[in-house]
Amino acid sequence: MRDPAPTRFPLRSPTQVMRLSRLGSLHQCRLSFMRVLTRTMAAEGWRFTRPVFNIGGDGVGHAVYSATGPERTYSLVAFAHDLPPEMRSDRVIATAWDATFTLFDGVPDAADIDRLSKNVPLQEAGRVSEREISVSRANRSVRLWEHFVDALAAGQQPDPRKTAAVGYLMRTTAVYGSGKLGAADRETIANRPELAVPFQAEMLSVYLTRVFVRDLVQHMADTRGGDQAATLDPAIAQSLGIGNSTGLGMAPFIVNHPVLFNNWIMAREEGIARVRAVKTATDTETATFRALLDRSALSVAHWRSEHPIQVEKLTALRADMAALIAHADTADLTTSSPWNRLYDWAEATLGEDAQELVASLILEPYPDLVDGLAACMADDNADAFRIDGAVTVAATRAALEASFGWALAIDWDAPENCARAWYVSEEKLEPRLGERFDEPIAEYEQPLAPARDAAAAHAALADRAGDQPIATFLLAHPDHRHTIRRAQIAAIAPYGEIHDNTISAAVLPIDMLRAKLAFFGATHFDPRSDRWVRICMYAGAPYPEDLSPATADHWIYPEVET
């Protein structure tokens, strides 16, 4: 029997958790937004239909996929295009894509489709309305797409090795929500229970996109092969995910949303602490852990990247997985706070990547302790923005020291400590990272170096009386206002600040990208450079016809052949 009321266990400290190298080693877990969505849809018995599939033999046209929950219906409106290869780019500078999408609030009528057909294919150059919740686009994996169409049209199944080497037929290159391009604001949907957890609309859009892509490749094969064409093996279809290419645009997000990011990290940390506090595990719980450990090792084995940094990380992670499996084979995972002992062993023995994998994996046997924390992951604290001017200078100094004590002694004028600057380019209005001393960008710098700014504010406060209200300082020094705001936010959101230098010569933006994408539930991070990463989403997930409480959760771990 598990202890019904586990003792309180301390959360890991922000000092430990919020280092970039650790954030860049995060893995998905029970609280990842894709898994929250599939569990919700299965538990609530969502219904799925395809009211429109109007795609010609040339692969051009549109389709509608509707998902209906207890109260509302959402529809993915998909437009399929004929894209010349020379126009295919995952970068935000692209102007055309293989497919474009919007998630519509309800079921669109013909007039809606007509309006959307004139805007959604244009993406950033178009406008949508409050009826639309997200806008996105996807490009084919050219080699896998052609292989699938060729094989199926010839009456054969695709080669499993080629399928595994890529993992998806299309990859999204942007999924815009939260009012972008004129879509509905987050605030207009945040009070709907099914969308209360962050990014549920975007995750639904990608889930339905995967269904569309499967149907489209079959349609193209049927068109080419006629009666000869084979139907795609459902097992191969299930192994496919949707790829995603994510660039720098996402990296500032976690700096710009400290309360939201805090809530994600804190929910997971609370889950980890609760499970570490479990004194005795049941046989079922231990068996769940062991089974998912084996499946997790298989997922790591399937993980491919050619990027030198990731190759090195994967080598270390695979060695650590072998050590972990060997340890778990003989370790007592039942008595004497088994998960705390396992975590402590991992922290003492394994690298950060494997430590975080263990931290995520020990949550798996405990849906009752963990899953409810998803409800805490949204940011509904609109008042956190407002500065409390009555807070004293002394308290403000203490708050800055709590989050940025490590940063106060750094020489922020030394070139290596401020080598980079985040800016927004005139061409595509997207965040970029440049070399401060080589490019004319410093005057356009975005406020994405909270540690440097905190050190500057701390220095400016040095000769102020401790009992003075911070309001007086702010009136005289408006340049520090954004930093004082962050310091007050950090007091209620201790995991909202990265404890590393985001403008150093050594910063790796892919660490910031991975932290965010891991919370989405992404796997198989494949950096294409230090600031650009490909991932896979929903690989192994049940399609709507197979979605049930039995299939909705552990799909993220590939099945081990027996």
The rounded Cα 519 to chain-centroid distance in angstroms is: 4
**Smallest distance, another protein to C-beta of residue 433, A:** 6
Cβ–Cβ under 8 Å, residues 501 and 407: yes
Site string for another protein, 23-62 (x = CB under 8 A): ----------------------------------------
Examine residue 427 and tell whether it contacts another protein (CB under 8 A).
yes
- Residue 486 and residue 454: Cα distance in Å, rounded? 9
Examine residue 536 and tell whether it contacts another protein (CB under 8 A).
no
Examine residue 467 and tell whether it contacts another protein (CB under 8 A).
no
Cβ–Cβ under 8 Å, residues 206 and 99: no
Site string for another protein, 201-240 (x = CB under 8 A): ----------------------------------------
Selected from 66, 75, 139, 310, the binder of another protein by CB under 8 A is 139
Cβ–Cβ under 8 Å, residues 209 and 140: no
The rounded Cα 145 to chain-centroid distance in angstroms is: 25
Examine residue 182 and tell whether it contacts another protein (CB under 8 A).
yes
Examine residue 179 and tell whether it contacts another protein (CB under 8 A).
yes
- Taking contact as CB under 8 A, which single stretch among the options 5-13, 264-272, 397-405, 476-484 is the one that binds another protein? 476-484
Using DSSP's 3-state secondary structure scheme, residue 149 falls into helix
Which CB, 67 or 92, lies closer to another protein?
A: 92
Selected from 50, 81, 88, 302, the binder of another protein by CB under 8 A is 88
Which CB, 294 or 530, lies closer to another protein?
A: 530
Site string for another protein, 143-172 (x = CB under 8 A): x-----------------------------
Residues 507-526 that bind another protein (CB under 8 A): 509
Q: Quick one: which H or E segment has residue 410?
A: none
Examine residue 392 and tell whether it contacts another protein (CB under 8 A).
no
Selected from 82, 114, 185, 312, the binder of another protein by CB under 8 A is 185
Number of residues forming the site for another protein (CB under 8 A): 70
**Smallest distance, another protein to C-beta of residue 184, A:** 7
Give the Cβ contact number of residue 480 at 10 Å.
21
- Residue 26 and residue 30: Cα distance in Å, rounded? 13
Which CB, 311 or 429, lies closer to another protein?
A: 429
Examine residue 561 and tell whether it contacts another protein (CB under 8 A).
no
Concatenated DSSP letters for 349-400?
HS-HHHHHHHHHHTTTT-HHHHGGGGGG-S---GGGGS--TTSBHHHHHHHH
Selected from 274, 397, 432, 524, the binder of another protein by CB under 8 A is 432
- What the block records as the tokens of 470 is 């911070």
Concatenated DSSP letters for 222-283?
HHHHGGGPPPPPHHHHHH-EEEEEE-GGGHHHHHH-HHHHHHHHHHHHHHHHHHHT-----H
Examine residue 438 and tell whether it contacts another protein (CB under 8 A).
yes
- Taking contact as CB under 8 A, which single stretch among the options 2-10, 222-230, 411-419, 426-434 is the one that binds another protein? 426-434
Alpha carbons within 13 A on the beta-carbon side of 320: 22
Examine residue 459 and tell whether it contacts another protein (CB under 8 A).
no
- Taking contact as CB under 8 A, which single stretch among the options 207-215, 440-448, 535-543, 552-560 is the one that binds another protein? 440-448
Mark 310-319 as b/e (b = at least 16 C-beta within 10 Å).
beebbebbbe
User: Nearest-CA neighbor of 484 among 393, 380, 410?
Assistant: 393
Examine residue 89 and tell whether it contacts another protein (CB under 8 A).
yes
3-state SS of 515-548 is HHHHHHCCEEEEEEECCEEEEEECCCCCCHHHCC
Selected from 2, 147, 257, 481, the binder of another protein by CB under 8 A is 481
Examine residue 119 and tell whether it contacts another protein (CB under 8 A).
no
Residues 301-320 that bind another protein (CB under 8 A): none
Examine residue 544 and tell whether it contacts another protein (CB under 8 A).
no
Examine residue 245 and tell whether it contacts another protein (CB under 8 A).
yes
- Taking contact as CB under 8 A, which single stretch among the options 45-53, 111-119, 127-135, 147-155 is the one that binds another protein? 127-135
Q: Quick one: which H or E segment has residue 23?
A: helix 20-23
**Smallest distance, another protein to C-beta of residue 537, A:** 17
Give the Cβ contact number of residue 13 at 10 Å.
12
* CA–CA–CA angle 239, 243, 249 (5° rounding): 155
Considering all CA atoms of the chain, what is the largest pairwise distance in Å, rounded to the nearest integer?
84
**Smallest distance, another protein to C-beta of residue 315, A:** 21
User: Is residue 253 packed enough to be buried (19+ CB in 10 Å), middle (13-18) or exposed (0-12)?
Assistant: middle
Cβ–Cβ under 8 Å, residues 488 and 387: yes
Which CB, 268 or 397, lies closer to another protein?
A: 397
Examine residue 180 and tell whether it contacts another protein (CB under 8 A).
yes
**Smallest distance, another protein to C-beta of residue 477, A:** 9
Selected from 72, 482, 551, 554, the binder of another protein by CB under 8 A is 482
Examine residue 130 and tell whether it contacts another protein (CB under 8 A).
yes
Site string for another protein, 330-369 (x = CB under 8 A): ----------------------------------------
The rounded Cα 87 to chain-centroid distance in angstroms is: 27
Residue 355's identity, in one-letter code, is: Q
The residues that touch another protein, with contacts defined as CB under 8 A, are 85, 88-93, 127, 129-130, 139, 141-143, 178-180, 182-188, 245, 247-248, 383, 385-390, 423-427, 429-430, 432-435, 438-441, 444, 447, 469-471, 474-475, 478-485, 509, 528-532
